[in-house]
Homo-oligomer: A and B are copies of this chain.
Amino acid sequence: MEPSADSSASPFTPLVVLELVSDTKEEAITWLLSRIRDPQQTGGAGLLVEKLGPGVGGEEKENPNLFLVGASRERLLSGAEDVGLFKEYSDGSMRGFTCANKHNFKDFKGDGDSFLSMAECQYIIKHELDTLRAKDETHVPGYSHAKLYPGKSIVRRLLSKGILIQIFPLHHKEELKRLSFSWYKKVKLSLQPLDDIRHYYGEGQALYFGFLEYFTFALVPMALFGVPYYLFDWEDYDKYVVFAVFNVIWCTIILELWKRFSASLAYHWGTLSRKKAFEEPRPGFHGILGFNPVTGREEPLYPNTKRQLRIYLVSLPFVLLCLYLSLYVMMIYFQMEGWALSINDQDPTFWTGVLIYIPSIIYAVVIEAMNLIYRYAAEFLTEWENHRLESSYQNHLVLKVLVFNFFNCFASLFYIAFVMQDMVLLRQSLATLLITSQILNQIMEAFLPYWLQRRRNKKMIRKVQKRRTLGDKELPLEEQVRLEADMSTYLGTFDDYLELFLLFGYVSLFSCVYPLSAVLVVLNNVTEVYSDAFKMCQVFKRPFADPAANIGVWQLAFETMSVIAVVTNCALIGMSPQVKAYFPDSDTQLILWIVAVEHGLLAFKFILTFLIPDVPKHIQIKLSRLEFESLEALKKKKMLEASEPRKDIQ
């Protein structure tokens, strides 16, 4: 293996961009670059790094401190082993890549130039930069307030002190063009190119689009079931019992099947059995310097009890208060609506007819505003809870936002359904909520970004036109990098999943009273695929690949929703006149029966999760074969070692 430091002068493919603040001190830059270039044996990252030349415009406000990071082929392969990448082996199974064994991997040809995808290379570089640790430096040169201690991740300290503005992977123009063509540019009946999406964006993104597609297909039977229902039984409220029963079974089964589908995707992408690396503390984490009991390294520690206190004594009461507030706003809405209705009833004119809609509109706007404000508050609180790991931060944030959003969106529907018991109003509210939120979403997600992007592109093209280099149409690298650095940052799949979660809620909770909702959600999802794909390809910076094996905490969220759906649908069944007719004498009997059925269904659901294995059989076999082979290899190795001394004697 050639020492990677040697090849730093040779031309390389830029993969990742580091943007430092424009007034970074020269000594800090020199130090950082040399630490990145130093070979691994001396504690460096062993990567290649170059400063980006000035842009075509050469304007003064342009940031000169953009650096391109790449790596030699050998460095990338050894990095792939570091991060524990799984690749397809010659026998068709997925195995952890090792350099020693590289020629036995299926796609390893020649010297392995195209073995790793660009997204994988970028992930490797990010990992190597993240684990580039301080040695005996006490602070970043030139910045005495940016403290360092042995073992501290340099990049994370630079990020937390604001010296490093951002670090992002570059797009690949050709690949992106190909991907976007097969993904959303042609009108087609085929599925999304999930493997290509995974190849370009990584597993986390691909799983989201896979889930979106799966969810849409899962809704098709319900939509098909719903349309005739809607057309012929529109006014016959009694008939929803069949639909509610269908709902209960549907939402249980699709989530179980998704787990299997997701496991088989993750297996083929090599993330299913991949071990998670030890997570670094998040950049914002702070505490008193001590020794980490796991790694033995010196790092900030923050007592868990203190965090628990913050969670239970501040965050929890705050969330409850917000829920109460949301409830309060809801009650005001119902009062306003009652008042508007009474005015309209007393003396109906054109203006009172308009007045009826005013409370709904105000309430919808208030809900959106509350969601937004609450989101900021939740982010602030979760940050303040000072979680050590990004994953733990994310889980706490998701939980907070989820509970509030659920409450905010569904509380009024529950109130109408079970307190007011007004099925007509329930259907109207559901339809209004669903249609309004979908229209708003489409505008926010598709139209707005498109418009913003067009404006930004025009500006850049105008700038380049000034230099009259537009002849070959391709932007020079300097401009391309600066263009991408200006693009918005993709903040992860959080909001996309949240939207799906709420749609899943509308469909599974109340679709029996408004059978058309599945059709609406299907339509929404189809356009969602296109707008999300467009966003990913055209609006946002390329995100780093996220080697996810499943949709994580969202699986739990959807499953919780499906339990709530069982309870809700059973209650709706119990309230239907059709069922009530069977128990003309006694409400008590009816309720007891409904409760018994509901408990039976919940037990059945629970048993079903046990009976349906989470991983399909053929993948389970492959996984245990791998495990068996490694055990056998270990045994053989041991046997050889044991027999060696005897050879010496002979």
Q: A1-B645, A278-B628, A628-B278 are in contact. Are A40 and B587 (CB under 8 A)?
A: no
**At the interface with chain B, which of A156-164, A518-526, A631-639?**
A631-639
**At the interface with chain B, which of A23-31, A202-210, A440-448, A588-596?**
A588-596
Question: Across the interface, which residues of B come within 8 angstroms of A567, CB to CB?
Answer: 599
Structural contact, A40 and B639, CB atoms closer than 8 A = yes
CA gap between A82 and B631 in the complex, in Å: 10
Within 8 A of B (CB), among A82-138: 82, 99-100
When the two chains form the complex, which single residue of B277, B588, B625, B642 contacts A294, counting CB atoms closer than 8 Å?
Answer: B625
Question: Across the interface, which residues of B come within 8 angstroms of A643, CB to CB?
Answer: 41
Min Cβ gap A556→B in Å is 9
Question: Across the interface, which residues of B come within 8 angstroms of A3, CB to CB?
Answer: 646
A295 contacts the other chain (Cβ, under 8 Å)? yes
Question: Across the interface, which residues of B come within 8 angstroms of A641, CB to CB?
Answer: 100
Question: Across the interface, which residues of B come within 8 angstroms of A628, CB to CB?
Answer: 278, 294-295
A621 contacts the other chain (Cβ, under 8 Å)? yes
Q: A567-B599, A588-B587, A643-B41 are in contact. Are A82 and B625 (CB under 8 A)?
A: no
Within 8 A of B (CB), among A161-216: none
Question: Across the interface, which residues of B come within 8 angstroms of A624, CB to CB?
Answer: 278, 294
Question: Across the interface, which residues of B come within 8 angstroms of A293, CB to CB?
Answer: 621, 625
A337 contacts the other chain (Cβ, under 8 Å)? no
A81 contacts the other chain (Cβ, under 8 Å)? yes
Min Cβ gap A227→B in Å is 34
Min Cβ gap A312→B in Å is 10
Structural contact, B294 and A1, CB atoms closer than 8 A = no
CA gap between A567 and B595 in the complex, in Å: 11
Question: Across the interface, which residues of B come within 8 angstroms of A538, CB to CB?
Answer: none
> Chain B: which residue is nearest A81 at the CB level?
B638
> Chain B: which residue is nearest A620 at the CB level?
B294
Min Cβ gap A324→B in Å is 17
Min Cβ gap A562→B in Å is 14
Structural contact, A635 and B588, CB atoms closer than 8 A = no
A453 contacts the other chain (Cβ, under 8 Å)? no
Question: Across the interface, which residues of B come within 8 angstroms of A646, CB to CB?
Answer: 1, 3
A78 contacts the other chain (Cβ, under 8 Å)? yes
CA gap between A642 and B82 in the complex, in Å: 13
When the two chains form the complex, which single residue of B78, B295, B588, B599 contacts A588, counting CB atoms closer than 8 Å?
Answer: B588
> Chain B: which residue is nearest A74 at the CB level?
B642
Question: Across the interface, which residues of B come within 8 angstroms of A78, CB to CB?
Answer: 638, 642
Within 8 A of B (CB), among A598-643: 599, 617, 621, 624-625, 628, 631, 635, 638-639, 641-643
Among A599, A617, A645, chain B packs the most CB atoms within 10 A around the CB of A599
Min Cβ gap A588→B in Å is 5
CA gap between A496 and B278 in the complex, in Å: 42
> Chain B: which residue is nearest A594 at the CB level?
B595
CA gap between A100 and B637 in the complex, in Å: 12
Structural contact, B1 and A642, CB atoms closer than 8 A = yes
CA gap between A40 and B641 in the complex, in Å: 13
Question: Across the interface, which residues of B come within 8 angstroms of A621, CB to CB?
Answer: 293-294
When the two chains form the complex, which single residue of B82, B100, B635, B638 contacts A635, counting CB atoms closer than 8 Å?
Answer: B82
Question: Across the interface, which residues of B come within 8 angstroms of A100, CB to CB?
Answer: 641
Question: Across the interface, which residues of B come within 8 angstroms of A41, CB to CB?
Answer: 639, 643
> Chain B: which residue is nearest A277 at the CB level?
B631
CA gap between A627 and B393 in the complex, in Å: 23
> Chain B: which residue is nearest A2 at the CB level?
B646
CA gap between A41 and B635 in the complex, in Å: 12
CA gap between A3 and B646 in the complex, in Å: 9
Question: Across the interface, which residues of B come within 8 angstroms of A625, CB to CB?
Answer: 293-296
> Chain B: which residue is nearest A567 at the CB level?
B599
CA gap between A628 and B100 in the complex, in Å: 22
Within 8 A of B (CB), among A250-297: 277-278, 293-296
CA gap between A631 and B275 in the complex, in Å: 11
When the two chains form the complex, which single residue of B99, B595, B638 contacts A595, counting CB atoms closer than 8 Å?
Answer: B595
CA gap between A592 and B78 in the complex, in Å: 63
Min Cβ gap A378→B in Å is 19
Min Cβ gap A102→B in Å is 13
> Chain B: which residue is nearest A635 at the CB level?
B82
Question: Across the interface, which residues of B come within 8 angstroms of A304, CB to CB?
Answer: 617
Within 8 A of B (CB), among A1-33: 1, 3
CA gap between A149 and B631 in the complex, in Å: 22
> Chain B: which residue is nearest A618 at the CB level?
B293
Min Cβ gap A274→B in Å is 13
CA gap between A646 and B1 in the complex, in Å: 8
Question: Across the interface, which residues of B come within 8 angstroms of A635, CB to CB?
Answer: 82
> Chain B: which residue is nearest A642 at the CB level?
B1
CA gap between A1 and B638 in the complex, in Å: 13
Min Cβ gap A5→B in Å is 12
> Chain B: which residue is nearest A78 at the CB level?
B642
Add 12 more A-B contacts to A3-B646, A41-B639 (CB < 8 A). A78-B638, A82-B635, A99-B642, A277-B631, A278-B624, A294-B624, A567-B599, A587-B587, A588-B588, A588-B591, A591-B591, A591-B592
CB<8 Å pairs between A and B, sample of 28: A1-B642, A1-B645, A1-B646, A3-B646, A40-B639, A81-B638, A82-B635, A99-B642, A100-B641, A277-B631, A278-B624, A278-B628, A278-B631, A293-B621, A293-B625, A294-B621, A294-B624, A294-B625, A294-B628, A295-B628, A296-B625, A567-B599, A587-B588, A588-B588, A588-B591, A591-B591, A591-B595, A595-B595
Pick the 9 closest A-B CB pairs, nearest first.
A587-B588, A294-B625, A293-B621, A294-B624, A591-B591, A595-B595, A294-B628, A295-B628, A588-B588
